[in-house]
């Protein structure tokens, strides 16, 4: 389920309308949390990163040339802020800490899928979250992550292969101890 905002809100926000900006942030808040949670360790860090990203976005709205790209632009700011915060605190995402996911695809109810995604390296995990949970196109992801589209496709392919291997029967037997 793709979040939708009024296309006029992007233009209004870029024109300085605070209420339109607030509506956009509210529309994208769950996406922001999911993306931050795929990078950062704790809920507090996620909230700090989101708050800082929102502040930075608001104060640099004039730099957004294409209002229709608001979500991608906001997510790019958030990803950069998450990485800045992670470097600052020198903390890595631990596999056990990524549990509170909200998704229209009921990702939060599938513990085994959460565990599998958690086992991926951050760069692969972030691609999976953006593509499958945030329903972002490859082109949008390239903008958000500041990477070529080919790199995004390659990371998605590697992530899918790792997830497929995780769910392979012999791998499942090893995880459960039923060999």
Write out the residue range of the structural domain in which residue 83 sits. 1-93
* Domain count across the chain: 2
Task: Give me 134's structure tokens.
Answer: 């945030």
Q: What is the CATH number of the domain that holds 165?
A: 1.10.10.10
Is 111 in the same domain as 178?
A: yes
Is 56 in the same domain as 122?
A: no
Q: Name the pTM for this structure.
A: 0.63
Is 86 in the same domain as 125?
A: no
Compute the distance between CA of residue 102 and CA of residue 179 in angstroms, rounded to an integer.
Answer: 34
Query: How many Å from the N-terminal Cα to the C-terminal Cα in the chain?
Result: 39
Q: What is the CATH number of the domain that holds 24?
A: 1.10.1740.10
Residue 8: what pLDDT?
A: 84
Is 21 in the same domain as 49?
A: yes
Q: Print pLDDT tens along the chain (179 aa).
A: 445 556 688 888 888 889 999 999 999 999 999 899 888 878 888 999 999 999 999 999 988 888 888 999 999 999 999 988 887 765 444 433 443 443 444 555 567 777 888 888 989 999 998 888 888 899 999 988 999 999 999 999 999 888 888 877 766 555 555 55
Is 42 in the same domain as 70?
A: yes
Q: Which residue has the tokens 């039923």?
A: 178
| Residue after which a domain boundary falls, among 46, 72, 93 | 93
Is 16 in the same domain as 84?
A: yes
Is 71 in the same domain as 148?
A: no
Is 1 in the same domain as 89?
A: yes
Is 105 in the same domain as 52?
A: no
Is 89 in the same domain as 106?
A: no
Compute the distance between CA of residue 77 and CA of residue 97 in angstroms, rounded to an integer.
Answer: 23
Question: In terms of Cα–Cα distance, which of 93, 146, 145 is closest to 122?
Answer: 93
| Residue after which a domain boundary falls, among 93, 122, 147 | 93
Q: What is the DSSP string of 116-141?
A: HHHTS-HHHHHHHIIIIIS---HHHH
| Residue after which a domain boundary falls, among 37, 68, 93 | 93
């Amino acid at each position: 389920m793709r979040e939708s905002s009024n296309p006029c809100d992007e233009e209004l926000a870029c024109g300085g309308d605070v209420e339109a900006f607030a509506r956009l942030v509210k529309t994208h808040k769950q996406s922001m949390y999911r993306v931050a949670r795929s990078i950062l360790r704790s809920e507090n860090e996620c909230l700090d990163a989101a708050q800082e990203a929102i502040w930075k976005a608001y104060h640099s709205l004039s730099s957004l040339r294409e209002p229709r790209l608001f979500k991608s632009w906001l997510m790019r700011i958030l990803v950069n802020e998450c990485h800045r915060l992670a470097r600052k605190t020198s903390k890595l995402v631990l596999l056990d800490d990524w549990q509170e996911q909200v998704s229209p695809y009921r990702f939060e109810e599938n513990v085994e899928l959460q565990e599998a995604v958690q086992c991926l390296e951050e760069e692969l995990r972030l691609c999976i979250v953006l593509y499958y949970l945030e329903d972002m196109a490859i082109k949008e992801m390239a903008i958000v992550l500041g990477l070529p589209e080919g790199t995004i496709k390659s990371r998605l392919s590697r992530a899918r292969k790792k997830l497929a291997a995780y769910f392979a029967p012999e791998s499942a037997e090893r995880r459960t101890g039923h060999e």
